[in-house]
Amino acid sequence: MDSHGQVEQRVVWCVVDSGIGPLLLAATREGLVSVVFHARDAVRDRAVERLASRLGTEPVEAPGSPLLAEAIRQVGAYFAGERRDFDLPLDWSLISGFNREVLRELASGVPYGTVVGYGDLAGRVGQPGAAQAVGMAMGANPLPVVVPCHRVVESGGGIGGFGGGLETKRKLLALEGVLPEPLF
């Protein structure tokens, strides 16, 4: 509690190694709140600043925090090929409205090793003409990998865009057996 009797928001974060480079994981008491790709110094620092601004509290680096322990374990198991689904509490406070609705449908309705088109996902949330808005929701996803926006592709067979970069998307889809492993 703070001096006004309010429950103080606590945000903890750490950087973990993965098959696609360093990932920043951040959590609150509600659950995992953010996953950030390519979390080397400059990217990590900007991500922590953005979290402080959006959540109203200074995130604390705490790799040993119980709030992060299960997320660290499950992310490690996913990249080791030992886990297909994430079973983590998620803090959805960084996303709302249509974007949240689309991301929740993605998380629950597009399993490991499958893909869905932007338009198909729009239809699943009752907005069949909103493929472009689904693309925007994927770009705003605060929980990539765990909420698998890499599984959303173009209906014509193209890979589509990706906030973590197309090479990262290809690696994630290869890990899940959707694409062949790159030769080089």
Catalytic residue IDs: 149
Could you tell me the two tokens for 91? Answer: 């803090």
Are β-strands 23-27 and 32-36 bridged in parallel, bridged antiparallel, or unpaired? antiparallel
Helices 97-109 and 131-139, axial angle in degrees (round to 10): 90
Q: In the chain, what is the straight-line distance between the N-terminal and C-terminal CA atoms, in Å?
A: 53
What is the spatial order of strands in the sheet that 60-61 belongs to?
32-36, 23-27, 12-16, 60-61
Could you tell me the two tokens for 23? Answer: 């990932």
Distance CA 116, CA 127 (A): 15
Burial of 100 per CB tally in 10 Å (0-12, 13-18, 19+)? middle
| 110 touches 116 (CB < 8 A) | yes
